[in-house]
Each structure stands twice: as structure tokens, then as C-alpha cells.
């Protein structure tokens, strides 16, 4: 057993999977282009499957949602139109189609919940300094998670939302915001626009709200994790819940400050 009481085999599995995810994300982010698009497409479709499972919809409706989202995701390919208004319109069109066919508005909301962050990250990466900006948008969430974890464990204190996520504390929220702000101050020295650095603490709060929302979805569904595809980590929604609401806001800010 580890010091924290976690079986060493589970800890080893979690570590290996975590390192593999980081390596894949780093390679896709650095290389950009087709690899970045493909990684986001695969992650998006798997996230939508997990969203469907949390809702308890039928296999048929799940596939309808995934096939509908595949249209705008295909348009986002560098060989097609790429990230732009066409893909944005098709994403909303896919959500509308899902509403009409399945009569499940919340399933259609999942199309937007997944599709808009994918579009947003591709928009950010397509900027002239897209590597720095995409790294900022993604890593501020990681910094927030790390800061929140250590602050919550070391300080503790009042719970943030005990009925939704019993382990989250106000100190963890503060620690996450501070860590994200510190991270942004470092990136500022490497060329991150000052407006984005200033907005980072607010985006850290948004990331925490995204985490809480996914926790509420899981509690509503009566499950611990959104999926089982990532051993030791749960599902893709579990790993990317903070990035989902951050990415569209970050993309909007990037476009405004360019």
C-alpha cells in the first residue's frame, strides 16, 4: 500500500496513464495541424458518449448524437474549412438536429458542451502565436487543479459545495486561483498578452465551476466516474471538465485581444 492507503498497483496504473495523457497532449499541442485536430475529435466523441451514458439515453440516441457532431468536427479538419463560422454554424445545426430527432434537449446540449470547446481550442491554436495561447488555455486548468488539490488537502476548511462535491473546499478554490494566476504571470514573461494574464484568475474560477457541474451530473446519474476508459482516472469528462467551459471563453478573449 502507498502512504495514502492506495494500492501500489492502482497508483502505478494512474501514474502511467497520467504520463501517457500528458505526453499525448504535449505532442498534439506542439505539432498542431492534423494531430491536434484528430486528438480533439477523438476526445470529443468519447466525451459525448460519456455525456449520453450519464443521461441514460439509448444506444441509438447516443450514436445519433455522435454522428451529428461528426459533421462539424470533420469540417474543422485542416484539409477542410478549418475552425471558423461554418463549423460554428454546423455545430449548432447538429444540436438542433439532435433535438428534432431524439426529443432530448439535454442530449443536444451535450453536442454544444463538447463541440464548442473543440472548436475553441482549434481557433486558439490557429493563431500566429497559437502554441503559447493554446498552452495557456489548457495549462491554466491544470495549474488550477494542482493548486486546488494541494491547498485543499493542506488547509482544508469550509466545503465549497458539499451537496455536489464533498471534497472541494473554499481553500482549494483559492489555491487553484492563486496557482493559475502565478502560472499566467510566468507566461506573461514569454509573451502572453497582459489582458489574458489578468483574465486568468477568473478563468480559474470558471474551471472550478465546470468541475462542479460535472460532479453534479455524476451525482445525478448515481455514478462515481463519467467513464472507465482511463484506468485510475475515470472518463474523459472527468479529466477535461474544467477545460470545457474555459476553452470557449479563452477563445473569445484571444480573438478580442488580437
**Tens digit of pLDDT for each residue in 201-221?**
999 999 999 999 999 999 889
Q: What is the pTM of this model?
A: 0.92
Which segment of 7-11, 28-32, 152-156, 235-239 scores lowest on mean pLDDT? 7-11
| Residues 140-191 pLDDT 10s | 999 998 999 889 888 888 888 888 888 888 999 999 999 999 999 999 999 9
Report how far residue 97's alpha carbon sits from residue 45's, in angstroms, rounded to the nearest whole number: 17
pLDDT of residue 11: 65
Question: Could you count the other beta carbons within 10 Å of the beta carbon of residue 145?
Answer: 22
Instruction: Inform me whether the pLDDT recorded for 53 exceeds 90.
Output: yes
Q: What is the DSSP letter of 233?
A: T
Task: Dump strand ranges (E) for the chain.
Answer: 159-161, 165-169
The pLDDT of residue 35: 96
Q: Compute the distance between CA of residue 124 and CA of residue 129 in angstroms, rounded to an integer.
A: 9
Q: Tell me how far apart the alpha carbons of residues 175 and 91 are, in angstroms, rounded to a whole number.
A: 35
Question: From CA 74, how far away is CA 41, in angstroms rounded?
Answer: 8
Dihedral angle sign, alpha carbons of residues 162, 167, 171, 175:
negative
Dist CA 121 CA 113 (whole Å): 13
Instruction: Name the one residue in this structure whose C-alpha cell is 468519447.
Output: 46
Binning pLDDT at 50, 70 and 90, where does residue 8 land? low
Amino acid at each position: 500500500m502507498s502512504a495514502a492507503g492506495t494500492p501500489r498497483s492502482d497508483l502505478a496504473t494512474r501514474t502511467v496513464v497520467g504520463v501517457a495523457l500528458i505526453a499525448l497532449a504535449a505532442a498534439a499541442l506542439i505539432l498542431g495541424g492534423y494531430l491536434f485536430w484528430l486528438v480533439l475529435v477523438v476526445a470529443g466523441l468519447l466525451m459525448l458518449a460519456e455525456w449520453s451514458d450519464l443521461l441514460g439515453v439509448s444506444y441509438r440516441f447516443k450514436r445519433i448524437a455522435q454522428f451529428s457532431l461528426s459533421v462539424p468536427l470533420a469540417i474543422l479538419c485542416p484539409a477542410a474549412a478549418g475552425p471558423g463560422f461554418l463549423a460554428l454554424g454546423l455545430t449548432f445545426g447538429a444540436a438542433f438536429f439532435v433535438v428534432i430527432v431524439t426529443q432530448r434537449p439535454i442530449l443536444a446540449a451535450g453536442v454544444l458542451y463538447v463541440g464548442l470547446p473543440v472548436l475553441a481550442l482549434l481557433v486558439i491554436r490557429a493563431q500566429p502565436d497559437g502554441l503559447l495561447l493554446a498552452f495557456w488555455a489548457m495549462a491554466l486548468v491544470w495549474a488550477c487543479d494542482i493548486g486546488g488539490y494541494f491547498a485543499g488537502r493542506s488547509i482544508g476548511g469550509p466545503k465549497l459545495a458539499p451537496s455536489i462535491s464533498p471534497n472541494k473546499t473554499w481553500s482549494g478554490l483559492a489555491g487553484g486561483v492563486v496557482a493559475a494566476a502565478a502560472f499566467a504571470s510566468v507566461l506573461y514573461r514569454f509573451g502572453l498578452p497582459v489582458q489574458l494574464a489578468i483574465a486568468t484568475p477568473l478563468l480559474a474560477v470558471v474551471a472550478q465551476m465546470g468541475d462542479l457541474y460535472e460532479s453534479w451530473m455524476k451525482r445525478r446519474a448515481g455514478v462515481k466516474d463519467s467513464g472507465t476508459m482511463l484506468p485510475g482516472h475515470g472518463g474523459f469528462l472527468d479529466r477535461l471538465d474544467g477545460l470545457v467551459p474555459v476553452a470557449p471563453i479563452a477563445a473569445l478573449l484571444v480573438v478580442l485581444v488580437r
